[in-house]
Structure 1
Amino acid sequence: MRELLLPKFNNNDEGCVLVGWAVDDGAEVYADEVVAEVETAKALEELVADVDGVLHRLVEVGAQCEFGRPVGLLFDSHQERDDYLANQASAVVTTAPEGEGEDHDGGPDPILSDAARTLAQDHGIRTEQLRSLGKRVVKASDVQRLIDQGVMDQGAESAAAGAAADAAVVSLSTRQRAVAAVVSEAHRTIPAAFAAIAVDLTAFRATRGGGAPYGLVEILVKAIAARHADFPLFFATPGADHTLVLAPDANVGVTVDVGTGLFIPVLKDAARRPIDDLADDLMDFRVSALRQNFRGDAFTDEAITLSLHNDPDIILAAPIVHPGRTCVVTLCAERSEVALTEDGTPFTRPVTTVAVTYDHRYLNGRDAVRFLTAVKQDLESADAIARLAG
C-alpha cells in the first residue's frame, strides 16, 4: 500500500481544496495518471499517481487538504483494499473552514477555495450570492463570473456605447485569476519597500574563467545564506502580536519557471552545504519543474526567497513579498557597464543588479542597504568567492 500524498504546489498556502476526483473509488489507476484536481490560491492543479494501484479515497470533494498529507491510498490489488476496509471503521474525511458548509435558511453554505474566498472578500460578494451558484465547491473562476456579471449589470449600457464595434475582449485564464487574487492580497496586506545595488562581477568572472563548476545563482545563494547570523530578521516568519519567528537554518527558496508555472523549491541548509550540491539541486529542480513531479518536501521550511529575473536585458525587478516572508531578494541580468579609472580612463566592466523587496513593518531601509552591501562585498571579492565556494 502506498499513500497518495498531496504535494506542496506553492509556498503561499498551507493547503488547498480538492475540487474533483478523476477516478472512481476502488478503480485501478496507473503511474502518471491524473487522479484528482485541486485548487490552490494560484491555480487549478492536477494530482498524479506515482505508481500503479487500486485507489481508495480518503477525502471527499470539497475537503480542505493539507500539503504533505495523504488524500488517498493505492493498493497493490483489489483484495488488499478489501482486507484493509474490513479492518477500518471509515476512511473518508471531509473538512472545511469553520462556518463553511453549514445549513442556513437559504441552503448550505458552499465551500470556498482560498483564492475564491479572497476574491469574494475583495469584491464584497455575499454568502447568498455564492449560494445562488448552486455549487457545493466554489472556485475562483466561479467568483470571478459573479464579479463580471455584477460589473456588466451596473455598466453594460455605457460600456456597450463606448466600445468599438470590432473591439476584442480577452478573458483571464483561471490560473491568472488565481494569481491576481494572491498578488492583490500581498499588495493589500504587506507594506513593501524596495532597494537595489549594483554589483561588479569582475572577480566572479575571473573565477569562472578558471572553469568553476557553479554559476552566479549558486554563488549568490551562498552569499545570502552566509548573512543569516548577521541579518536574522531577513530569514524570519511574521508571527502574532508584532513578533517574528527566527529561522534556525538558512534555507533559500529559489524561483524556477521553465514554462510550466512558477515554483519555489527550497535549497536546505545553504550556508553549510557544498556549492556543488546546491548546483545539482538547482538542476534537479528545473527537471522536476518540467515534469511537474517535485518531492513532497521540496517546498518546505523556506526562510528567505531568491527571485530570478536574470533573463537578458532585465536591469531591475521588484517582485511581491510572499506571505509568511519578510523579504524577497532579486537577481537581474548580467550586463556591461562603462566606468572610469581613478585617472579618468574609461573601461568596461561586467555588472548585475541585486535587489531586495521587504516588508517595512519588520525591516527598515537602513537594514536593507546594509544587507545588500554585505552581499555585494562578498560577490566582488575573489577571496570571499573562494571561501563561499570552498
Structure 2
Amino acid sequence: MADLLVPKLNNNDTDYVLTEWLVKDGDPVLAGDPVVVLETSKAAEEVEADTAGTLRHIATVGSRCRPGQAIAQVGDGSAPSLPVPRVPGTDTQSGSGGPVVTRPAQARIDELGITAEQIASLGVPVVRLADVEALRPVPGASAADAAVPDAASDARSAQGTPLAGVQLGVARAVELSHRTIPAAYTVVRMDLGPALTRARELTRTVRRPVGLAELFVQHVAALHGDFPRFFAAVDGTTATLADAPHIGVTVDLGEGLYVPCIRDAADRTIGEIATQLMKYRLAATTGAFREADLTGANFVVTLHTDADVVLAVPFILPGTVCALAVTSPQDGAPANIGLAYDHRLINGRDAALFLRALKNSVEGLN
C-alpha cells in the first residue's frame, strides 16, 4: 500500500488546508487521477494519485497538512494502516455542524465583515476564498446592506485588522528576501512611446489587450540567451542556470500581491502572452489561481501603472535573482525602468549591460 504524500507547493506556507476529497474513501483511482484539493495562502491545488488502486483517506476535510505528510493510502482496498486524525479545532468553522472555512477564506471574511448568516447561505460544505469573494459587498449597495460590514469594520479598527492570507504570504516572501538576498538597484530612462504605439497596433491585430506588461515579458524573455545569469537561482555558493525564461508578472488589486508565471516566454507569441495574462488578471479578481500558476518564475516583471509613480524599487522574489520595475511614462517623458538584482551573482556593470540591451530592444519597436 502506497502513501499519498502532501507535495511542497510553495516556499511561503509551512502547511496547507485539505479542502475537498475528489474521490470518495474506498473508490478506485488510476495513477494521475486528481484525488484531493489542498489550499495554500494564495491558491487551491489538485493533487494526483501516484499509483493505481483503492483510495483510503487518512486526513479529513479541514485538516492542516504539512509537506511530506501522508493524507491517504492507495492499495488493495484494505483499511489504511495509519489512524485518521481529527480535524484541528484551529481551522475555523461556522459553528457546530457548519461548513469548514479555510484559513485564507476566514482571513477574507474577517477583512470584509462577512456574517455567519451570509456564509451559511452559500450552502457549501467547504468555504474557500473564491466563495467569500462572491459575497464581497457591491459598490453602491444600500445602507441597510452595508450596515453589518461597516459595524464590523469599526470593531476591527479598534482591535487591529488582521492581514488577509494573500498578504501574509507576501509578508513572508518580503521578509525572506530582505533577510537572505543582498540586493542592488540600477535605473535607466526609456522612451516608451514606440512601445505604446506598437502595443495599440498589436491589440487590434491579436484582439487581446496588449500593454507594457506583455511587451516587457516578451523583450525580457528574448534576452535569456545573452544574459543567462539573470534567470538563475542562487543556492549558497552555487548558481543554477535556467533552461528557459519563465517570467513572473505582478498582479496587485490592492488586496494582496500575486506573481503568476508565463512559462517558456521566449517561445510564446505576443498574442499567447496577452491571452495568458488576461486569464491571470481574471483569476486575481476571483481568487481562482492554481498553485502551479504562481510557481516557477525565474525573472519577475513588476508593474507600476499609477501616473504619479516615477520610481519603484521591487523586492527580489526568493528563488530568483532579478526583478524589473516598469513605471508609466510621464506626459511623453522617458520612464524610469529599474532592475533590482542579487549582488552575489550580478554586478553593476552586468546590470547596466542588461538594461542597455533591453532599452535598445524596447525603443527599437516600430
- TM-score tier after normalising by the smaller chain length: 0.5 to 0.7
Q: Is the 8 A contact 1:328 1:358 kept in 2?
A: yes
Query: Residue 228 in 1 paired to residue 224 in 2?
Result: yes
Within the candidate set 51, 62, 65, 1:63 is matched to: 65
Return closer, same or farther for 1:184/1:211 CA change in 2, 3 Å cut-off. Answer: closer
Return closer, same or farther for 1:254/1:8 CA change in 2, 3 Å cut-off. Answer: farther
Q: Distance in 1 between matches of 2:361 and 2:251?
A: 24
What letter is aligned with 2:16? L
Query: Residue 364 in 1 paired to residue 347 in 2?
Result: yes
Within the candidate set 326, 341, 363, 1:380 is matched to: 363
- Structure 2 residues not aligned, in runs of 5+: 26-35, 48-54, 85-156, 205-209
Return closer, same or farther for 1:223/1:85 CA change in 2, 3 Å cut-off. Answer: closer
Q: Distance in 1 between matches of 2:20 and 2:202?
A: 50
Q: Distance in 2 between matches of 1:20 and 1:209?
A: 44
CA drift at 1:368: 1.0
Q: Is the 8 A contact 1:18 1:36 kept in 2?
A: no
CA drift at 1:234: 0.6
Query: Residue 246 in 1 paired to residue 208 in 2?
Result: no
CA drift at 1:293: 2.1
Q: Is the 8 A contact 1:260 1:290 kept in 2?
A: no
Return closer, same or farther for 1:265/1:321 CA change in 2, 3 Å cut-off. Answer: same
Return closer, same or farther for 1:36/1:225 CA change in 2, 3 Å cut-off. Answer: closer
Query: Residue 217 in 1 paired to residue 213 in 2?
Result: yes
Q: Distance in 2 between matches of 1:92 and 1:332?
A: 54
**SS in structure 1 opposite 2:67?**
strand
Q: Distance in 2 between matches of 1:314 and 1:91?
A: 59
Q: Distance in 2 between matches of 1:356 and 1:220?
A: 13
Q: TM-score, normalised by structure 1?
A: 0.57
What letter is aligned with 2:320? R
CA drift at 1:71: 5.6
Q: Distance in 1 between matches of 2:319 and 2:257?
A: 17
Map of 2:96 onto structure 1: none
Q: Is the 8 A contact 2:196 2:211 kept in 1?
A: no
**SS in structure 1 opposite 2:340?**
strand
- Count residues with an aligned counterpart: 269
Map of 2:194 onto structure 1: 203
Q: Is the 8 A contact 1:20 1:36 kept in 2?
A: yes
**SS in structure 2 opposite 1:374?**
helix
Map of 2:257 onto structure 1: 262
CA drift at 1:311: 2.7
CA drift at 1:258: 2.9
Query: Residue 327 in 1 paired to residue 322 in 2?
Result: yes
Return closer, same or farther for 1:191/1:279 CA change in 2, 3 Å cut-off. Answer: same
Q: Distance in 2 between matches of 1:86 and 1:231?
A: 52
- Structure 1 residues not aligned, in runs of 5+: 28-34, 50-54, 74-83, 95-166, 337-348
Map of 1:297 onto structure 2: 292
Q: Distance in 2 between matches of 1:361 and 1:226?
A: 24
Q: Deviations over 1:54-74 (max 9, x none)?
A: x974547453137xx99679x
Q: Deviations over 1:83-110 (max 9, x none)?
A: x88714527699xxxxxxxxxxxxxxxx
Map of 1:340 onto structure 2: none
CA drift at 1:370: 1.1
Return closer, same or farther for 1:204/1:169 CA change in 2, 3 Å cut-off. Answer: same
Q: Distance in 1 between matches of 2:321 and 2:24?
A: 45
Q: TM-score, normalised by structure 2?
A: 0.61
Map of 2:77 onto structure 1: 87
CA drift at 1:323: 1.2
Return closer, same or farther for 1:291/1:363 CA change in 2, 3 Å cut-off. Answer: same
CA drift at 1:171: 5.0
RMSD: 4.1
Map of 1:173 onto structure 2: 163
CA drift at 1:277: 0.4
Within the candidate set 10, 15, 18, 1:17 is matched to: 15
Query: Residue 183 in 1 paired to residue 178 in 2?
Result: no
Return closer, same or farther for 1:248/1:87 CA change in 2, 3 Å cut-off. Answer: same
**SS in structure 2 opposite 1:312?**
coil
Q: Distance in 2 between matches of 1:8 and 1:298?
A: 14
Q: Is the 8 A contact 1:57 1:91 kept in 2?
A: no
What letter is aligned with 1:17? D
More deviation in 175-184 or 286-295?
Answer: 175-184
Map of 2:92 onto structure 1: none
Return closer, same or farther for 1:205/1:184 CA change in 2, 3 Å cut-off. Answer: closer
Q: Is the 8 A contact 2:42 2:287 kept in 1?
A: no
Map of 2:302 onto structure 1: 307
Map of 2:283 onto structure 1: 288
What letter is aligned with 1:358? Y
CA drift at 1:304: 0.8
Q: Distance in 2 between matches of 1:271 and 1:26?
A: 42
CA drift at 1:170: 3.3
Return closer, same or farther for 1:65/1:352 CA change in 2, 3 Å cut-off. Answer: same
Map of 1:237 onto structure 2: 233
Q: Is the 8 A contact 2:44 2:289 kept in 1?
A: no
Q: Deviations over 1:267-305 (max 9, x none)?
A: 111112111000000001111222222245323432211
Considering only CA atoms, is the larger Rg found in Structure 1 or Structure 2?
1
Question: What's the % identity of the aligned pairs?
Answer: 33
What letter is aligned with 2:185? F
Q: Deviations over 1:37-56 (max 9, x none)?
A: 85x6xx4877799xxxxx97
Return closer, same or farther for 1:307/1:88 CA change in 2, 3 Å cut-off. Answer: farther
